[in-house]
Amino acid sequence: MTFQEQILEGIPSILPKPKAYEAHINHAPKRKEILSDEEMKLALKNALRYFEAKHHEELIPEFREELQEYGRIYMYRLRPDYEMKARPISEYPGNSEQAKAIMLMIQNNLDYAVAQHPHELITYGGNGAVFSNWAQYRLTMKYLAEMTDEQTLVMYSGHPMGLFPSHKEAPRVVVTNGMMIPNYSKPDDWEKFNALGVTQYGQMTAGSYMYIGPQGIVHGTTITVLNGFRKIKKNPTGGLFVTSGLGGMSGAQPKAGTIAGCITVCAEVNPKITKIRHEQGWIHEIIEDLNVLVTRVKSAIVKKEVVSIAYLGNVVDVWEKFDEENITIDLGSDQTSLHNPWAGGYYPVGISFEESNEMMANNPEKFKEEVQKTLRRHAAAINKHTAKGTYFFDYGNAFLLEASRAGADVMAENTTLGREFKYPSYVQDIMGPMCFDYGFGPFRWVCTSGKPEDLAKTDAIACAVLEEMMKNAPEEIQQQMADNIQWIKGAQENQLVVGSQARILYADAEGRMKIAEAFNQAIASGEIGPIVLGRDHHDVSGTDSPYRETSNIYDGSRFTADMAIHNVIGDSFRGATWVSIHNGGGVGWGEVINGGFGMLLDGSNDADRRLKSMLFWDVNNGIARRSWARNEGAVFSIKRAMQVEPLLKVTLPNFVDENLL
């Protein structure tokens, strides 16, 4: 069968033969046993819904074995035989160009070079799933290949509920992931209901088909590291940045450190992912001996090298050893998946990777105890360095939150609403006041032709637009503009593409609209092929997350989720090709609501109209909310937006004299 025929086949009427478990692939850890016997039967019944009754007798023992062995029913047998990668849009079967673009983005999320656990359909974060099983993947791709621009595909947490009649102005796909009743949104609830096959953790861009590999976070991390050094008034050259995690998101850290121009030491316990990052060129060196690491770092500091070093081991050992050796750490953070602390997101010190995985599955209470002991040690070591002048920030991975729950010494002496911890979230000190309040966030695009030359052309177009805008940009956003022009000029040489021909830069509403308009004109003239626009959910408006994206909102509303919900509703009727809304993201299940979109530019007048309507709303929704919270940068930005667009009328806050209070 051809690739197109396999897509159109969906779930085959004749079952493919079982597939061997490929040990060399980076697999998801075994999930803990959480289902009762009756619930296991229910999980099997739920999985068998995808198959004709004649197959049930054959599949029951196989699915039961998967559930017992891995804690989930992945339906490995149904993994396609074709290579999983984003193909040029012309190679996809279908009646809708928009649907073809979505197929391309789904396959990119599952590309072996992109996905963290590709056989388990997990893109990043240890549990950020595109689908829960391979039947869902096959059925979704078939629906997309069949749909017209008068239909909308409805996705319930990985399950394709079906095609429904709509109209060409409606989104082609509407995605929800993990939208639980609030009282059923604890970590064990995810374990249970995911094992039953009725919900999933979509992370942020994993379950919304908008992940572009580590590049997506390289840029944000580069901006963070640059501004972190600016905050401590030190040149990055010769400076030391210590952190941990080399997974789907965290793997960007050493590359970002290199682009920023510092020395980066990033610890990781998983040898497979460490090897992958080294082969991709995201890290320069791998060191497994602490004494060798100390010698190497001291030499790099003296020589003012720009180098990224992966330490294959636990980061707690690094913090403690560097304290003993009096190595000055300028910037410190952590990006292990602490949103998922009990299922492979964070590993205890002093216990091997293999032993930890076994304990996680077979003795989860002991594993939790060891993780919390490690968090207390981790925080104590960080405290020693910060006493010497290290600037430490929480990188939005719930490090401080989980450390506080473990009883670690991380609470502020004088707690205030929004400043509960000793150390800030990076959004509180860096990304919030410097970027989000001014409307700058992670704007993305993907060249659906798959041609590197198209990506190079879009880089040049975006750079030209930004340089022209900077001529008249107000002083308040000159630095943001300059950083992004520097980024886009170096994008090609930094070899950031993994998977699809994609790019990211931080832009405000004006920049996003002007860049998108220029792309649409280039498509209309035949200069480039169609473009998919998107963004990270980690943006100005997309996410309500009290310990990350909205952590610099101090009016008490950071625990509300009105902004994210309004964002996805507003995007859906202003022209998005697909929209998504998720419970759970980088800081954990039940800790965040986040939404995203995708939009296909095809060179048409319709695309031009939609991009202007939707992108303006997508950014200014969040600026308006930040302005109402009395964030001064956002007040400046929303006033500026109202001057540009007379139809925009936003309620502005009045400020109270603190002395009166």
What is the pLDDT averaged over residues 9-31?
A: 93
**pLDDT, greater one: 345 or 491:** 345
In 3-state terms the chain splits into helix, strand, coil percentages (rounded to 5) of 45, 15, 40
Q: What pLDDT is stored for residue 190 in this prediction?
A: 92
Q: What pLDDT is stored for residue 115 in this prediction?
A: 92
Residues 267 and 207: their CA atoms lie apart, in Å, by 27
What is the pLDDT averaged over residues 48-77?
A: 97
Digit-coded pLDDT (tens) for 467-490: 999 999 999 999 889 988 988 888
Residues 327 and 385: their CA atoms lie apart, in Å, by 9
Q: What pLDDT is stored for residue 125 in this prediction?
A: 82
Catalogue the E-assigned strands of 260-373.
Answer: 263-268, 285-287, 307-312, 331-332
Digit-coded pLDDT (tens) for 177-235: 999 999 999 889 999 999 999 999 999 999 999 999 878 788 889 989 999 999 999 99
Write the burial class of residue 656 (CB in 10 Å: 0-12 exposed, 13-18 middle, 19+ buried): exposed
Q: What pLDDT is stored for residue 261 in this prediction?
A: 93
What is the pLDDT averaged over residues 94-119?
A: 96
Phi first, then psi: what are they for 98, rounded to 5°? -65, -45
Digit-coded pLDDT (tens) for 128-161: 999 999 999 999 999 999 999 999 999 999 999 9
What is the pLDDT averaged over residues 637-648?
A: 96
From the list 186, 69, 75, 155, the residue with the least C-alpha distance to 121 is 75
Structural contact between residues 102 and 116, judged by C-beta atoms closer than 8 angstroms: no
Query: Looking at beta carbons, which pairs linking 422-426 to residues 24 or more positions away fall under 8 Å?
Result: 422/383, 422/386, 423/382, 423/386, 423/392, 423/393, 423/394, 424/393, 424/394, 425/393, 425/394, 425/396, 425/400, 425/547, 425/548, 425/551, 425/552, 426/224, 426/228, 426/333, 426/393, 426/394, 426/395, 426/396
Percentage of the residues of the chain whose pLDDT score is greater than 90? 82
pLDDT band at 76 (very low <50, low <70, confident <90, very high): very high
Digit-coded pLDDT (tens) for 222-281: 989 999 999 999 999 999 999 999 986 788 899 899 989 999 999 999 999 999 889 888
Digit-coded pLDDT (tens) for 333-348: 999 988 888 888 899 9
Q: What pLDDT is stored for residue 187 in this prediction?
A: 84
What is the pLDDT averaged over residues 23-43?
A: 93
Give per-residue burial for 93-115: e unless 16+ CB within 10 Å, then b: bbebbbbbbbbbbbbbbbbeebb
Digit-coded pLDDT (tens) for 280-297: 888 999 999 999 999 999
Indicate if the pLDDT at residue 652 is higher than 90. Answer: yes
Instruction: Collapse the DSSP code of 210 into the 3-class scheme (helix H, G, I; strand E, B; otherwise coil) and give the result.
Output: coil
What is the pLDDT averaged over residues 494-515?
A: 91
Binding-site residue numbers are 125-126, 203, 268, 395, 586
What is the pLDDT averaged over residues 309-329?
A: 97
Instruction: Collapse the DSSP code of 287 into the 3-class scheme (helix H, G, I; strand E, B; otherwise coil) and give the result.
Output: strand
Indicate if the pLDDT at residue 494 is higher than 80. Answer: no
Average pLDDT, the chain: 94
How far, CA to CA in Å, does 511 sit from each of 506, 538, 648?
9, 18, 18
pLDDT band at 322 (very low <50, low <70, confident <90, very high): very high
Q: How, if at all, do strands 307-312 and 173-177 pair?
A: unpaired
Q: Tell me, letter by letter, the H, E, C secondary structure of 78-120.
A: HCCCCCCCCCCHHHCCCCCHHHHHHHHHHHHHHCCCCCCEHHH
Indicate if the pLDDT at residue 302 is higher than 80. Answer: yes
Q: Tell me, letter by letter, the H, E, C secondary structure of 603-631.
A: CCHHHHHHHHHHHHHHHHHHHHHHHHCCC
Q: What pLDDT is stored for residue 344 in this prediction?
A: 87
What would the two tokens of residue 288 be?
Answer: 């497994």
How far, CA to CA in Å, does 255 sit from each of 214, 218, 249, 260?
9, 7, 12, 9
**pTM for the structure as a whole:** 0.89
Q: What pLDDT is stored for residue 594 in this prediction?
A: 96
How far, CA to CA in Å, does 270 sit from each of 65, 71, 527?
26, 20, 44
From the list 539, 538, 533, the residue with the least C-alpha distance to 518 is 533
Binding-site residue numbers for NAD(+) are 125-126, 203, 268, 395, 586
- Could you tell me where the DSSP H helices lie in 182-289? 187-195, 215-231, 252-260, 271-280
